[in-house]
Chain A
């Protein structure tokens, strides 16, 4: 038995055609809808502090939370934007102690303490921004056991305002970093952000103690040689009058001279007589500064 291959016809199947048409319509329509209306992702920011080596360790010099005056504390702050759009943010740094109220996560309110530094930045969606937060307590006073930092250096910028917080014996200070975002409806920055109709906040803090002892480490042999090129007598006041024989090069700052002294233990306000009076006044003037020229 044989058949004619060319004449063989298979009848059309309208039911099959329409079934395929309906399925294809549904698939293509869904895909088009998803393309035109992408699924909203969860909106959030991530804020963190990393240590010296950009890792969650070594937050303090020598890994000791007891920070001396002049010690440089090296942190790195990271912020990740997952809000689905470009965001204008501000990081507000505040100095708190154990009892001053921190930000409130439940009520989404910031700490009432005034910020001593604000850093603003624009982050595009899905961007992580890391910036150095290198700070040192340069000057501090003690009154009735309460220590107050009166001068802070942050990223080489000297700050001596809005540092009103005191801590008993310098214990349990903390630096709080709060994340604020720009809200055009209030034409200003708001604490935290709004996502899905809810207010959310992000803040971090690190505790430390301040010890009223100057850091004399770091002067190398080269420094000492240059310091030794000219001699001068210095009086050091504050822990009672002491006379210290020191060699100071006239072109060097007071701090380098102090480093050279090495064994000198300073009070919270060390007082030095320096030949260059102008520079001296810039660096060391304070409320208790009374100096006597070395004879």
Chain B
């Protein structure tokens, strides 16, 4: 009796598992994965743009973004056929890449903002130093040149022209 029950439970579990796998192969789930990846891509791009506007070097992020776009494109192509599971897997992979890019872009933005702030502070602080330095160097150079001119005149000897 117990053995029969076990078999029954096992059969039930197998049926549920097959149902779950059938649902996962459903075209709607793969479409959802693609939509999700597209939403992630938009978010990732906005983060890249923010990092770029702060002056960060986003070349590496853009390259990774384009690789993820290729995966998404492949997922779309597969979705048009019948490889729903593969399409869904690729879309999810693309989504993960976009999410990772978003995180890295935020980090880059923070670093770039900090560097930009440091650059601004340095430029503002160094301006008065530069003004004073230029003024003093120029003034004393002119004064030295004047003194030299006077000295040259003083060292001149008067000679009779024959």
Q: Interface on A for B, CB 8 Å cutoff?
A: 3, 5, 8, 10, 12-13, 16-17, 20-21, 24-25, 27-29, 32, 35-36, 85-86, 88, 119-125, 157, 182, 184, 187
Given contacts A17-B139, A28-B127, A86-B52, 12 further A-B pairs with CB under 8 A are: A8-B147, A8-B151, A8-B154, A10-B146, A10-B147, A20-B138, A20-B142, A27-B134, A28-B131, A85-B49, A85-B52, A122-B45
For A20, what are the chain B residues with a Cβ–Cβ distance below 8 Å? 134-135, 138-139, 142
> Distance (Å) between the CB of A150 and the closest chain B CB?
16
Select A24's contact among B138, B142, B143, beta carbons within 8 Å.
B138
For A122, what are the chain B residues with a Cβ–Cβ distance below 8 Å? 45, 48, 62, 65-66, 69
User: What are 26 A-B pairs with beta-carbon distances under 8 A?
Assistant: A8-B151, A8-B154, A10-B150, A13-B143, A17-B135, A24-B131, A25-B131, A28-B127, A28-B130, A29-B127, A35-B123, A36-B123, A85-B49, A85-B52, A86-B52, A86-B58, A120-B73, A121-B66, A121-B69, A122-B45, A122-B48, A122-B62, A122-B66, A122-B69, A124-B52, A182-B42
For A25, what are the chain B residues with a Cβ–Cβ distance below 8 Å? 131
For A27, what are the chain B residues with a Cβ–Cβ distance below 8 Å? 134
Which residue of B is nearest A24, CB measured? B134
For A120, what are the chain B residues with a Cβ–Cβ distance below 8 Å? 69, 73
For A184, what are the chain B residues with a Cβ–Cβ distance below 8 Å? 42, 46
> Distance (Å) between the CB of A42 and the closest chain B CB?
18
Select B139's contact among A16, A121, A124, A125, beta carbons within 8 Å.
A16
Q: What is the bound-complex CA distance between A84 and B88, given in angstroms?
A: 36
Q: Is the CB of B143 within 8 A of A10?
A: yes
Interface string of B41-78 (1 = CB under 8 A from A): 01001101100110000110010011001000100010
For A5, what are the chain B residues with a Cβ–Cβ distance below 8 Å? 151
Would you call the interface of chain B mostly helix, strand, loop, or mixed?
A: helix
> Distance (Å) between the CB of B100 and the closest chain A CB?
15
> Distance (Å) between the CB of B152 and the closest chain A CB?
12
Q: What is the bound-complex CA distance between A123 and B45, given in angstroms?
A: 11
Size class of the contact patch on chain B: 20 to 34
> Distance (Å) between the CB of A222 and the closest chain B CB?
32
Known: A24-B134, A85-B52, A86-B52. A124 touches B59 (CB 8 A): yes
Asked whether any CB of chain A lies closer than 8 Å to the CB of B124, the reply is yes
Q: Is the CB of B150 within 8 A of A86?
A: no
For B124, what are the chain A residues with a Cβ–Cβ distance below 8 Å? 32
For A187, what are the chain B residues with a Cβ–Cβ distance below 8 Å? 42
Q: What is the bound-complex CA distance between A123 and B124, given in angstroms?
A: 33
Which residue of A is nearest B74, CB measured? A157
For B131, what are the chain A residues with a Cβ–Cβ distance below 8 Å? 21, 24-25, 28
Select B150's contact among A8, A29, A32, A119, beta carbons within 8 Å.
A8
Query: Sorted from nearest, which 4 A-B pairs have the closest CB atoms?
Result: A24-B134, A86-B52, A122-B62, A21-B135
Which residue of A is nearest B142, CB measured? A16
For A88, what are the chain B residues with a Cβ–Cβ distance below 8 Å? 45
For A29, what are the chain B residues with a Cβ–Cβ distance below 8 Å? 127
Q: Is the CB of A124 within 8 A of B58?
A: yes
> Distance (Å) between the CB of A10 and the closest chain B CB?
5
For B49, what are the chain A residues with a Cβ–Cβ distance below 8 Å? 85-86
> Distance (Å) between the CB of A201 and the closest chain B CB?
21
**Which residue of B58, B130, B131, B147 has the most chain A CB atoms within 10 A of its CB atom?**
B131
> Distance (Å) between the CB of B64 and the closest chain A CB?
10
Q: What is the bound-complex CA distance between A216 and B146, given in angstroms?
A: 92
Q: What is the bound-complex CA distance between A6 and B131, given in angstroms?
A: 31
> Distance (Å) between the CB of A116 and the closest chain B CB?
12
Which residue of B is nearest A10, CB measured? B147
